[in-house]
Amino acid sequence: MKLIIIIAVSATTILSACKKESAAQYNNNVKAPLSIEFDNIVGSSNLQLNTGVYQNAVGQNFSVTKLKYYISNIKLTNSKGEVFVVPQNESYFLIDEAVPSSHKPVVNIPEGEYTKLDFVLGIDSLRNTMDVSQRTGALDVSGAAADMYWTWNSGYIFFKLEGTSPIITSMGGVFQYHVGGFGGYSTPTISNLKNFSIDLTARGIPKVMNGRTPNVHLFVDVMKAISGSTNYDFSTTTMIHSPAAAVPIRNNYSNMFSHDHTEN
């Protein structure tokens, strides 16, 4: 019995020491990579462009031909409650379902264990109104953002969902739902920017450390963009191309993002 107690105490001591050693390995003066995976789904099904057939909340079949959206202004909170804001110039990502390499953007953050992820769906007013020379990469309106910018509304399209439905009898059966509107710069206008805060504690916190790249795996359920407080009927609403018309979609997708798991 004494031997068992001694072994148990020793094991506890070793585990405690290991935990302390593990915690001591983090150096918040050193930055390391973290990937955030945006896994697009439709309800309980994986999103498959062009070939997947889904059913909306009013019972209409549809397929998705295009899905793009902007993630920006990323910040993470560690287990000590410290918040790290990803530098602005490194915090704009265009997620394109047709481009698999865009699904897992990588940010560099201080080493540590992170319990919360915050980000914005959309492009803020400051970046929307910067000189075009400062809007590069995912924001380049002559490149990656060529079809994600409203020239007539002077702003980025934050979320673009396009597809087809047999219920639509005009326009070749096509629907286009585009969400934009940054709130204006000097004069207030409609803002469809949306903040998201994801708790990472229930499904596994990322342990960020130099030499490896943990991955936070998020599900993005696009069905929630077209159902919820407003259930879209493709026979009556086929085109949305203005900030005012897009407000119900912006309200719908409040619960579009969920944390599935973390790979360390």
For the chain, how many structural domains are there in total? 1
Higher pLDDT: 28 or 99? It is 99
The neighbouring-strand residues paired with 61 are 55
- How high is the pLDDT of residue 3? 41
Q: Do strands 155-164 and 215-221 pair parallel, antiparallel, or not at all (unpaired)?
A: unpaired
Residue 197 lies in a domain: yes
The three-state secondary structure class of 120 is: strand
> Does pLDDT of 162 surpass 80?
yes
Residue 177 lies in a domain: yes
What domain range includes position 121? 30-263
CA 219, 225, 229, 230: dihedral to nearest 10 degrees? -160
- How high is the pLDDT of residue 6? 42
pLDDT in tens, 235-261: 999 999 999 999 999 999 999 999 999
- How high is the pLDDT of residue 73? 98
Residue 17 lies in a domain: no
**Full-model pTM:** 0.90
Rounded CA separation 201/205 (Å): 5
Residue 14 lies in a domain: no
Residue 60 lies in a domain: yes
8-state DSSP, 225 = G
The neighbouring-strand residues paired with 257 are 220
- How high is the pLDDT of residue 258? 98
Mean pLDDT of 53-72: 99
pLDDT in tens, 124-144: 999 999 998 999 999 999 999
pLDDT in tens, 164-214: 999 999 989 999 999 999 998 778 899 999 999 999 999 999 999 999 999
Cβ neighbours of residue 115 closer than 8 Å, sequence gap 6 or more: 77, 78, 79, 199, 200, 201, 205
Residue 207 lies in a domain: yes
Mean pLDDT of 69-80: 98
113 and 207 in contact (C-beta within 8 Å)? Answer: yes
164 and 62 in contact (C-beta within 8 Å)? Answer: yes
Torsion sign (Cα): 4, 10, 13, 19: negative
Rounded CA separation 180/148 (Å): 9
Element (H, E) at 249: helix 243-252
Rounded CA separation 15/187 (Å): 59
Q: What tokens does 238 get?
A: 């086929």
Query: Please, what is the average pLDDT of the chain?
Result: 92
